Structure 1
Amino acid sequence: MSTSPMKAKGRRALRSLTLGSTAIALATVGLGSTPASAATGTVAYSCSIFSTKFDYNARVTMKGPAKPSVGDTVKITADFSALPGVSPVTVDSWKTTGKFTVSGAQKTSISATGPKKTGPIKPKGKIPIGKLTGKVKLKKAGKISLTTGTLKITAVAYGSSVTMPCTPKKNKPLPKLLKLTVKR
């Protein structure tokens, strides 16, 4: 059975389009790139604003590289749930900084920052914290565990800046949110 040149050309074009779409779909889902390691847990914080203390049970997802090696400088990201609504006034903008803790084969602290965010957030409204990112140079092979440490949320309301420090509660064990194996 013979096919006209026009039909054959149309089929080739359709095959090319299908192959191209498949390649785009595979690239979109990340096949061919190194996946990240991720873990989620809850960290119990004790925070304060002015003289008022409040609890913040942060749901945190921490991400790092899947196959880290000694000598790599790697990016660690922690995505935090929203801070409870404690501000008595409208919050116009805020920025969060913090520390991540590394234990195991290598022990260190990582400074982490998030982008400046803008509101307004109504009085007693939850403040979205979002992602904090830090970098660490891996110096030793072996297993390491990472978790979050102190946080500092600096909020601006009516042109004045207020700092809300948050510290992990001492009576609650810190979850080892992310575990990585550093190769030589």
Structure 2
Amino acid sequence: MTIKSIPGYRLGDTTLPKSPLTMDDLAVLKASLLFGENDVMALRRAHDVVKDQVEAILDVWYGFVGSTPHLLAYFSDAKTTQPIGAYLDAVRKRFGQWILDTCRADYDVAWLAYQDEVGRRHHRSGKNKTDGVSAAPHIPMRHVLALVLPISVTMKPFLAKKGHSAAEVEEMHAAWTKATLLQAILWCRPYAKDGDF
């Protein structure tokens, strides 16, 4: 599968609205998260570890969402409450690419614009529009932030599968956790009133 064949994938799309956050804003946020160049390098190493495990990682995450009714509801028809298979499939493709993108992020203006877009896709201002579905119209911010934990904790066993030392696994896992939290924070911008983010 190529990136161009992923429905709704728009990282690097020059038609996306620019994020209102500046590169300086991003630098300050990264500093607050203790996210530095060592983390970027650890994520690059993590990419090589997980690139052939993406589907297995997604199986774990989708198993969690599928077995958690209040989360599955956000991927289900608002009227029938039945999961929307095509929506789950489209999101899965983007989610798989997100794993790789998280490991290879450039943290530039295009990346920042896409984080804003992903945030809108969770918020009532853009939920369901990308895929043209009638699922729940909004994901509360508390769930966006809460999912950082399962997405981080469940990654560690995959990072440990290629023979790296415990210290190397810890370094990659810490970087993954910081990068996941960084993105989740950025995805919350549409939820905040002007001036509050």
After TM superposition, is the score higher than 0.5? no
Looking at CA atoms only, which structure, 1 or 2, has the larger radius of gyration?
Answer: 1
Higher RCO (CA-CA < 8 Å; seq separation 6+): 2
Bigger strand fraction: 1
Bigger helix fraction: 2
Indicate the TM-score class for this superposition, using the shorter chain for normalisation: under 0.3
Q: Normalized against structure 1, the TM-score is what?
A: 0.21
Q: Normalized against structure 2, the TM-score is what?
A: 0.20
